[in-house]
Amino acid sequence: MFPVRTTARFDVSVRRIAQNLYFSGIEDPDQGLKASLVVALVNVRAFPEAYPRTGKAGRRFVFEFRSIPYVVPYAFDGELVVLHDIHFARSTQTAHCLSE
């Protein structure tokens, strides 16, 4: 892929659209992150047999990086979950953390 350059005004507009989409009704963005993590943990705890403790659990996570800032959706067994902190979501420890 080639790098994409945008203006500061465009970046602010995209960020506001993303906040309206993902944080509608939530005043504190931290609550959005907590809510998305709770959804991910519910998925993990509902199907513990799908998360082996052999270190292979990370292979079952498919991360999809999008252009919306600070938002990373990922698919696990066909179900889409959104993480709102890109640094946490890109971490190599995410799959291990969510599988515990």
Residue 55 lies in a domain: yes
Domain of residue 73, residue span: 28-99
Dihedral sign of CA atoms 17, 18, 23, 28 in order: negative
Domain count, the chain: 1
pTM: 0.23
Residue 4 lies in a domain: no
Residue 12 lies in a domain: no
One pLDDT digit (tens) per residue for the chain, 100 residues: 445 555 556 566 666 666 665 555 666 666 666 666 666 665 555 555 544 454 444 444 444 444 455 555 566 566 666 655 545 544 444 554 554 4
Residue 20 lies in a domain: no
25: left (phi over 0), alpha (psi -120 to 50) or beta: left
Residue 76 lies in a domain: yes
Cross-sheet strand order for the sheet of 79-83: 61-63, 72-76, 79-83
Residue 15 lies in a domain: no
